[in-house]
Amino acid sequence: MPPIAKALTGVGLPLALVAGAAAAIRAMRPPAPVTAEAPPDHFSAERAQRHLHTIAREPRPTGSPAAEKARAYLVEELTRAGFDVHVQETVAAEGYGRMPYGPANLAAGKIHNIVARLPGTSPGGKAVLLTSHYDSVAQGPGASDAGVPAAALVEVARALQSRGPGRNDVVIALTDGEELGLLGAKALFEEEPLARRVGAMLNFEARGTSGPVLMFETGSGEADLVAALTRSGLPHFVDSLFGEVYRRIPNSTDFAVARAWGIPGLNFAHIGDFAYYHTRLDDIEHVDPASLQHHGELALALAERLRNTDLSALEERESAYFTVANGVTLSYPRWAAGPLAAAAAALWAGALARWMRRSGISPRDLLRGQAALWGRLAGGALAAQGLVSLLGRVRPEFRRHGDFYRSEELFATLGLLSMAGAATRRPGLDELRMASAAVPLAAAALGCARWLPGAAHLPALPLVGSGIALLTATSPRSSVRLLGQVAAAVPAVALLAPRAALTYQGLTPRIAVPAMALLQLGGELAGPLMWRQTGKRTRRLLLGTCLTAAGALALRQFRLARPTPDRPHPYALMYLVDTDRRRAFWLSTDDAPGEATRPFLGDRPGKGPLDVYFPGWNRDLLHAPAALLELPPPVLDVVSEKTHEHGRRVVVDVSSPRGARQISLAVRSGAVRSWSLVGGPASVPTSPADDGPWELWLHAVPAEGFRLVLELTREPVLLRVADRSDGLPNPAGDDRFPTPAGNPAHTPAACLDVEGWSNGTLAVTEKTL
């Protein structure tokens, strides 16, 4: 080969493989939005956006006037679409595990679920259920979470009606109280008669504001439903790996309630631009119309297919599956994960032994290759996590989300660093590096087959490619060796690169190491093909180019630390009135006063836990004295008390004279064994007193309040009672209460972790029972 051609090939092959990986990642994009001129039986994002503009103008937390207005509009539109609509009004309660900041997650409230039914031609049989939620957090308008899915389902309802009746009933449920702990879904499946007839459920969510809609979780016996999705002909992105990971992280949606009831189903969400999630920037301006189109197309196609399917015939079969291109999905029975991994490992092990024997590679050489590999992986992990940590120190949005504005640029930086690592090679060692990289893949394939069967394909398929490359590595024919190198590179490009991007996005940059490891392993496997014609000088040139570009992108990420209206710095601020001691405080969970909070907290506020007001919270709070605003305290009246052999049963009425939307009861001393709401669930057990702090939040508190039944110990129980209203006090003409909202480059913190209670006003009192 002429020197010029060889040099061009030496540069072209690495660039072609990088371009292929980028194209595989880019293929995961939603369909283009469709205009309102689309046929009436088609889904149109433009038509759905009209609904979104109505319901997502402002925050609509459960119990707020905005939620009531959104509910009335959704009921009207679903009725206009030809559905039979009713509102399920009830009280729901739930007790979950410990919150990250300490207390148990105990929640109850008055909820209003919207339930709409389109009758089929076989009434009384199994129904198809499409769900989302229409409430939002108080900190943002929730245009994407979950305004986009809710608006999409209203447009889907219209399109379904225009197609005429199907065999099965179609039920659309827009739940209330999802953001409070899945209260609406719990009430729906426990009390709604139509829920008893659900044969398949499709839930639609959002954990960001852009990107493709992923199917990331399944219910029981998902094989038939996944098959229906893959045969839809629509762009779809699925991987049973997602479900394996999702079940092991502390996140949940309404689908979790259906899954617990054993209902077959699929759970969908888009997750791009997570830094906007649960903030005021989850607004209409940041909605991706393509994501809206993707939700609607998937919901409409699957609803149409399932409403004409015998849902009672869905089989209890589990499958593993993965998308390899835009809408091309492969699947296999989940029980086959073990044989697949064993076969891949056996092929690779045999190929490795044959290659070592023919090429003169000793076990010691392989061990040295392993040591070098783990050194490179450790270096990549340190570089990735170190860069994320440094950025996190200057980018305030990272503290709560674990993510950054324009986070995709940081992922590109990691890709360039992994490419640079792959370029640090000595001639003649490409196959050894590839073989060394396959060792952890073999262990991962066998481990996944045992403990994560839905993820076994991720290491097994690259392992097969590596085995084929090793089988052909000693062939005297260049074309045969080339085919083997392609076999090793294709899984790295088509499978590992997109999963690295999704892992980075799903786990957030806070946990960047898995994504970096996938990128590095992909580079090691593709190495023999990538560097096939590359000389030492070309490698050095590519290494320098990658490092320079990575440095430039990293520097750009640091420059984005300056706040702007589209990249605001978040702050947490709360106003608390101690009505018993007649004093008030400004409070914040920020690490230190910032530009937005310094007018309230001063330069040197106190810092530490405030157990008097937040018993059991393991967060330090900044606190500074504030002007006292005369707020009436929440009221807790004892209705009755009865002593029995296990303790006491005390019935109390709780209410907020100032009309606050939320009331909190927390135990400062003593213990609550169980609790229930009159008109709600019979009893919600509580962990023993020595298992941690107890705190109950009541939401959407009506004017008359709630009646609670508390099972207490015989000893006196000291309760902290607080009511919370959204927003900070801003009395007209009172300059003691400035507002931080004037600077658009600063925004209230996202409703994540303890900051869910910030940007609010609390009135606190104590009561001994």
Q: Which two tokens stand for residue 496?
A: 């590992």
What is the distance in angstroms between the CA of the first residue and the CA of the last residue of the chain? 90
DSSP track, 468-524? HHHHHTT-S-HHHHHHHHHHHHHHIIIIIHHHHHHHHHHH-GGG-HHHHHHHHHHHH
Q: Domain 45-91+111-317: what homologous superfamily?
A: Zn peptidases (3.40.630.10)
Q: What is the pLDDT of residue 685?
A: 61
Q: To the nearest 10°, report the CA torsion of 609, 612, 613, 614.
A: 50
Which of 261, 258, 256, 266 lies closest to 226 in space, CA to CA?
266
CA dihedral for 59, 60, 64, 65, sign (positive or negative): positive
pLDDT score at 689: 43
Residue 142: φ, ψ to 5°: 60, 40
Pairing of strands 635-644, 198-206: unpaired
> In this structure, which amino acid lies at residue 355?
W
Rounded Cα–Cα distance for residues 756 and 103 (Å): 14
**Residue 713, exposed/middle/buried by CB under 10 A (0-12, 13-18, 19+)?**
middle
CA atoms within a 13 Å half-sphere pointing along the CA-CB vector of 436: 27
- Find where tokens 């807790």 sit: 636
The Cα 749–Cα 137 span in angstroms is: 12
CA atoms of 424 and 422, how far apart (whole Å)? 6
Nearest CA among 295, 266, 307, 260 for reference residue 128: 307
Q: Is 146 helix (H, G, I), strand (E, B) or coil?
A: helix
Cis bond upstream, residue 146 (ω within 30)? yes
Identify which of 228, 44, 100 has the alpha carbon closest to the alpha carbon of residue 692.
100
Task: Please report the pLDDT score of residue 309 as a whole number.
Answer: 96
Beta bridge partners, 95, equal 106
494: Cα within 13 Å, side-chain hemisphere: 17
Please list the residue range(s) of the chain that carry CATH number 3.40.630.10. Answer: 45-91+111-317
Question: In a 3-state reduction of DSSP, which class is residue 280?
Answer: coil
Structure tokens at 164: 């005429």
What pLDDT is recorded for position 682? 60
User: Could you tell me which residues come within 8 angstroms of residue 90 by beta carbon, excluding any fewer than 6 positions away?
Assistant: 110, 111, 113, 187, 191, 679, 680
State the pairing for strand pair 169-175/127-133: parallel
Residue whose token pair is 């508390």: 710
Pairwise CA distance, residues 519 & 500, whole Å: 6
Mean pLDDT split into 10-residue runs, the chain, 769 residues: 57 88 94 98 98 98 98 99 98 83 87 98 93 97 98 99 96 98 96 97 98 96 92 94 91 94 97 97 98 99 97 91 87 95 98 96 95 97 97 95 96 97 83 96 97 97 98 95 96 96 97 98 94 82 94 95 92 96 96 92 96 92 96 98 94 98 95 87 57 86 96 94 94 73 80 88 97
Q: Is the dihedral of CA 224, 263, 278, 152 positive or negative?
A: positive
DSSP state of 680: S
**How far is 271 from 45, CA to CA, in rounded Å?**
18
For 183, the token pair is 């209260």
Residue 333 contacts by C-beta under 8 Å, 6 or more apart in sequence? 223, 317, 318, 319, 320
660 vs 655: CA distance, rounded Å: 9
Burial letters 210-229, b for 16+ CB under 10 A, else e: bbbbbbbbbbebbbbbbebb
Of the candidates 578, 628, 540, the one whose C-alpha atom is nearest the C-alpha of residue 11 is 540
Residue type, 725: S
| Residue 693 identity (one-letter amino acid) | P
Q: What is the DSSP string of 89-131?
A: EEEEEEEEEE-TTSSEEEEEEEEEEEEEEE--SSTTS-EEEEE
261: its two tokens: 């009831």
Q: Cα–Cα distance between 632 and 505 in angstroms, integer?
A: 45
In whole angstroms, give the CA distance from residue 372 to residue 507: 27
620 residue type, one letter: D
